[in-house]
Amino acid sequence: MRTRDLVGLLLLAALGCQPASRYSYTALTPPADPTKPDKPTPPAPKEPPPLDPALVWYPSQWSPGNPQPTDVPLVFVSEAKEPARWAALPRYWNPPPLTDPVAVASLIGDPLESVTRLVALHKPGGVEIKVPRGLDDPTPLLPAENPPTLGAWLLGRRLFTDTRYLVDRQVLSCAGCHDPGRSFSSRQTLDGNSTRNTLGLHNVVYQRDLFWDGRANLLEESLQQFPEDERAVAADRRHAWPGAITRLRNSTEYVQLFRRVYGAFPNQDNVARALATYLRTILAGNSLHDRAVAAAKAAGKAEPDVDHYAKALTDADLAGLQRPNAKPEQVAEDLHRGYLLYHDKVGPRPTACVQCHGGPLFTNRGFHNLNVEPPESIDFDRGRLFAVPPGRRTAADVGAYRTPSLRDVDRTAPYFHNGRAGSLEGAVRAHLEPTWGSFLDPLFLDPDQPANTRKRPLPDGDLAALLLFLRALNSEPPPAIFAPPL
């Protein structure tokens, strides 16, 4: 007899057995008064038919779960905070030997439990993630309620790429719209259930306002928000969560995985935690521009010049810039010219790019109306307006949308919240020469011009240099660890 069975029998013998019964308030009724006549006993209520536990909300059984003791943390290591430790790391993802999930899966068959146990044995400090050059340390932005662990990350990656649970037809996954091969964005402009273009997920850990209208502030809340998401109900919106939890609970495989990682059954909280853990490690950096800035810093310069871009250029960069046969010296000059134009350091007409797209992520995290929405549809989708609490809304919120990061911008076409610009050049021209609208952001207004818009057209040579600089913000390709599980 197994030890667990023996313990169960001993507990039953000590405590005694009682048949299962439905809880009733009659146990709290005071004893009958013998001086009063007995009242007729009402008929017992009919028991309702049994329900599928996967479809019922049981508060007494609900638990978000917690990372299990056998799991290990994921640790971010940034160049700015720990330069020596950062330089010693050989690659982006640094697990100890024999703990690569793909390798372990091929040997053992179940990476989730095996990997976490091996990491715990060989490297109790956790898996080190080398934050790409140019990015800040994301550790202060991690919520205390969801510490990143390897088990949660592996589970989150599986959920992100799995097509079997989001909808009944088993044809939809998170990765279907946020393609890892497309900087976690999509070439598809719109679909039948949405009027919004798919935002890329690179560096989403740094974002404080999610979605185009900023209606969510935390990754976990952007995934599932309502108890109804636990139920099997029809979904006609882009994030098709209703019914997903039911399908996960009906999967023996997923029930086992969630119990190993969180010690609880699948529910919207631990699903959101696992997915958020995975998404927070999707970092895009170490671009050509980042390397030029690092070269300038090493030389004691505040800004990169032509020589720094020339030093950072590689053959792969030339191909990515669509200049494979050009002389590196000429490309470096054009890149520096684009850098100056972007930062309003040259030319009679400022581009004003840096006013909205500054900082390490090349975004001010603000919301602006560029008037790219057709006038006839402005009443259908008013952008930021409905995400702001009543009483705090202003005219500036009408038709305003989030300023996206420009990292990997060359890989994430189409552009704008409605995918209206199909090319990077078209998106840049829309910024430099906007059309007037009732709620156009004042940044694009110039009262001295007849049309009351601020036109900033660039000569063809300068426009080409600016586009070249934007392509220099492309990051290194994501490591193979982010590919769908085998």
Q: Which of 224, 259, 283 is the last residue of a domain?
A: 283
Tokens standing for residue 157: 């990656």
For residue 440, what pLDDT is reported? 87
The CATH number for 233's domain is 1.10.760.10
Q: Is residue 418 part of a domain?
A: yes
User: Which tokens sit at 100?
Assistant: 């690569």
The model's confidence at residue 454, banded by pLDDT at 50, 70 and 90, is confident
Q: What is the reported pLDDT for 184?
A: 86
Last residue of a domain, one of 248, 268, 283: 283
416 pLDDT higher than 50:
yes
Q: Read off the tokens for 445.
A: 């207004």
pLDDT digits (tens, 9 = 90+) for 275-328: 999 999 999 999 999 999 999 999 999 999 999 999 999 999 999 999 999 999
DSSP state letter for 12: H
Domain annotation covers residue 31: no
Task: Answer yes or no: do 243 and 306 share one domain.
Answer: no
Final residue in a domain of this structure, among 261, 283, 305: 283
pLDDT at 23 over 60: no
Q: Are residues 293 and 339 in the same domain?
A: yes
pLDDT digits (tens, 9 = 90+) for 40-64: 565 655 554 444 444 444 444 566 6
Does residue 129 sit in the same domain as residue 235? yes
Per-residue pLDDT reduced to its tens digit, 97-120: 555 554 444 334 455 555 555 555
Clarify whether residues 277 and 144 are in a common domain.
yes
- The answer on 331 and 276 residing in a single domain is no
Task: Provide the domain limits for residue 83.
Answer: 74-283
Q: How many domains does the chain have?
A: 2
pLDDT of res. 113: 55
Dihedral pair phi/psi, residue 94, rounded to 5°: -125, 75
Cα(117)–Cα(111) distance, integer angstroms: 10
CB-CB contact of 155 with 162 (8 Å): no
Entry pTM: 0.80
Q: Is residue 56 part of a domain?
A: no
Mean pLDDT on 395-409 = 92
Domain-located, residue 395: yes
Determine, yes or no, domain membership for 264: yes
* Predicted pLDDT of residue 109: 43
For 238-284, the pLDDT digits (tens) are: 456 667 888 898 899 999 899 889 988 888 889 999 999 999 999 99
The bridge status of strand 93-94 relative to strand 127-130 is antiparallel
Mean pLDDT of the chain: 79
pLDDT digits (tens, 9 = 90+) for 160-217: 999 888 877 777 888 888 888 888 888 765 544 456 788 889 999 999 898 888 888 8
H-only helix segments in 126-282:
150-161, 174-177, 219-223, 244-249, 252-262, 268-279
